[in-house]
């Protein structure tokens, strides 16, 4: 089965949004906004089009990954340019078959080739440890509230890139918080799906609030 990973084409945008919607529907909240997020991200200054990839299986697009600019600001005002991926979407009927891993691995390799310094992400640690991500606490990187969370992870792409940070704060792109304004109108373009409360949403809420207590 031929697998191709390449940059997204403009004519594929609605398809990619639909796949993203199907992948995230009712996963973290009733409904989702990830498809709206990528729709708005593409026109944002923080969007990184050269790291926006789709995965084709036998000529059919079944997944995608998006990247945006982020940064870490240290106590003395020093800024470290970083990048962030997400959402990563695989069509539900192809979940747990390794396609997400292919997309993430490919994008990390490309980010290294394009000379980016580090990737900072949010998510479940067990998903991302296999790629070399560790708690951002290891590099003294917190959220704006000053706390270190297990779900905020870092992967330096250059040797020692994050090693000199004393007390850094990560700032993700505002594009990753698209808000609710316009979501319902945008969502009406897609087939109707039922919003439901599910156990996995509570698991996610607990995970994002977990403080990192590890001693790195």
Tell the burial category of 89 from Cβ atoms under 10 Å away from its Cβ (0-12, 13-18, 19+).
Answer: buried
> 85 — phi, psi (to 5°)?
-105, 155
Q: How confident is the model at residue 180 (pLDDT cuts 50, 70, 90)?
A: confident
Residue 178: per-residue pLDDT: 83
Residue 26's Cβ-side half-sphere holds a number of Cα atoms within 13 Å equal to 9
Provide the phi-psi class of 96: left if phi over 0, else alpha when psi is between -120 and 50, else beta. Answer: left
pLDDT > 90? residue 84: yes
Q: 137: Cβ–Cβ under 8 A, 6 or more apart, which residues?
A: 148, 212, 214, 216
Residue among 211, 13, 23, 111 at smallest CA distance from 119: 111
- The pTM (predicted TM-score) of the whole model is 0.96
For 193-204, what is each residue's pLDDT tens digit? 999 999 999 999
For 45-78, what is each residue's pLDDT tens digit? 999 999 999 999 999 999 999 999 999 999 999 9
Q: Hey, what CATH topology would domain 3-176+199-208 get? A: Aminopeptidase (3.40.630)
Run of H or E including 205: helix 199-208
Provide the phi-psi class of 179: left if phi over 0, else alpha when psi is between -120 and 50, else beta. Answer: left
For 122-171, what is each residue's pLDDT tens digit? 999 999 999 999 999 999 999 999 999 999 999 999 999 999 999 999 99
Helix (H, G, I), strand (E, B) or coil at 60: strand
Q: Is the peptide bond before 87 cis (omega within 30 degrees of 0)?
A: yes
- Measured distance CA(115)–CA(138) in Å, rounded: 22
Residue 179: per-residue pLDDT: 83
């Amino acid at each position: 089965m031929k697998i191709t990973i390449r940059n997204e084409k403009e004519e594929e945008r609605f398809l990619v949004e639909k796949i993203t919607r199907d992948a995230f529907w009712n996963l973290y909240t009733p409904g989702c906004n990830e498809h709206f997020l990528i729709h708005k991200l593409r026109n944002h200054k923080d969007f990184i089009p050269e790291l926006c990839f789709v995965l084709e299986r036998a000529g059919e697009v079944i997944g995608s990954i998006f990247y945006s600019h982020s940064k870490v600001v240290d106590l003395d005002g020093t800024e470290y340019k970083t990048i962030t991926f997400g959402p990563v979407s695989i069509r539900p009927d192809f979940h747990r078959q390794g396609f997400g891993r292919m997309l993430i691995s490919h994008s990390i390799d490309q980010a290294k080739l394009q000379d980016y310094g580090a990737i900072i992400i949010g998510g479940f640690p067990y998903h991302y440890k296999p790629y070399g991500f560790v708690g951002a606490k290891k590099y003294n990187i917190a959220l704006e509230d000053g706390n270190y969370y297990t779900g905020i992870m870092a992967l330096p792409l250059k040797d020692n890139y994050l090693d000199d940070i004393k007390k850094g704060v990560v700032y993700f792109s505002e594009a990753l918080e698209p808000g609710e304004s316009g979501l319902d109108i945008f969502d009406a373009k897609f087939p109707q799906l039922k919003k439901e409360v599910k156990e996995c949403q509570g698991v996610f809420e607990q995970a994002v609030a977990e403080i990192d207590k590890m001693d790195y």
